[in-house]
Structure 1
């Protein structure tokens, strides 16, 4: 071996350069290419040749991107399907009520039932049911793990599901009737209730959390549902409006107030004793006491509205007497029933579809609603 060859073999840089040149020559020989001198006359032909060779490297990359996209879409579909099946089992079979699932129903528009084709949101159902469960466990110290506890839980589920179904029906019917409740109306209502209870906003927040596990937003949603139902009831129940107007005309014509109360009131108390006595130091969540105590003995209020025990009424009050501690008064009360009757007809028609298994009303005969 010559000295020059030994120097080449001992030099890694020269070896790489030499190997590169040899590989380039071998490539051109196999491809049928020969060294071409680039001139102004053949530069376009040379450029097209280079681009053609580059395309052969480009297409495999495009194919890989397309394949990656297909695989990604498949994985997303599989993951979404798996999550959906898992969620369906947790909510619709096991009927989980934990914070996690409640938050899921806030994000996803899941339905627990439908009323004449209109959705009943799972979120609204869990808001009510979780409050009842929280109250009975933390305030009443009850357990739902026993046989009797299981029956109690089933009763709460049926009650809250029916309330939620009716609320969904009210929302739909209110939209059709042009009835709505604004956020400012809700704020004013909550403020008046706080003032009646002499409570601050912090007091209300603490009470909601300790009694029902609710946030203020949960409470606002519940109050808004109640106010919307009341507005709609007073709009559509013309029979109740005619009845209270008739009672007002009789009173104004000189008919004894107590006799009108006995003949026309829908509450049980009027039939036994029309005189009612209330302490002025007690709570007044409806504002009735505050309104009536402003009267002088013998005066009446005119037609007013009130919600008692989840039922809406028209009423006319008459102050009999009062002192610093208490007052005695009489009431003519007319209950609004059309909304409840219309909703009951929907259930009779079989247009309320429920997506969870909850015992029917007949399973709880003897329990209060």
Structure 2
């Protein structure tokens, strides 16, 4: 009986370990076949940062296994790198840990693999400053990842009045917003962002602060990556704010937010800003204070704040709400028109 008890306990322990393990395959979605030889890391976020639990390598059939994991106390993350691009798989509690599929893609440097599907510039004048937020959606409908560090995945114009201070967040498909550095280019006031555009939709959020004026004249420039199709730039003015100038055309009012939508009709454009208003909720963290923002730098990702990064995944950036409303608005012009 004693031996039977010990044997039964051993079986239960082995079964428990087997249940706790993570196993699956690395799938190359470009070729449709398993991908061998991929190094995979299992990490767990916490208050002290990302802690490595274990590493594994996919075999000839693309299969990998982690004998031990830590399913309790929050999510885990599978990380892999292929063709210079990082791929992640979020393992939240209470989801199956067997037969997990970790997707990777072949990479291309051709900008034609992606296109700028939406580009919106939100102007929010206040009493002491003007907050500017540019939201850009880049769509990749191919089965390859666009990755070109030389050209970048996005280029934008930063007005000289911003004094080189800007913050950029990038969010890949099914990902979370992550700070990215804005890199100077050979052209004055033109910056690029290096962030791989995976199949699906990638969102960029650019935020900076300008000084106030009565009225204030905004000087801008539409910048695109050569070879990457792009949609027109739209301007968004909250209630109480008016934009005027020969380079812009009023399209109408968004019904839910009552924001006024404008179309930009020139690559180099100017418009006057009058009034004051904001689409952000009072007290919510908006654009960064110009006195604190480091010039063209990268902040600390929220992923290092234990479970706060999951909250960020749900809440994302405040401008996403506006983006959803804009998409459902009759004022939205489809890509290519």
Which one has a larger percent strand, Structure 1 or Structure 2? 2
Range into which the TM-score falls when normalised by the shorter chain = under 0.3
Which one has a larger percent helix, Structure 1 or Structure 2? 1
Q: Whose radius of gyration is greater, 1 or 2? A: 1
Normalising by structure 1, what TM-score?
0.25
Normalising by structure 2, what TM-score?
0.27
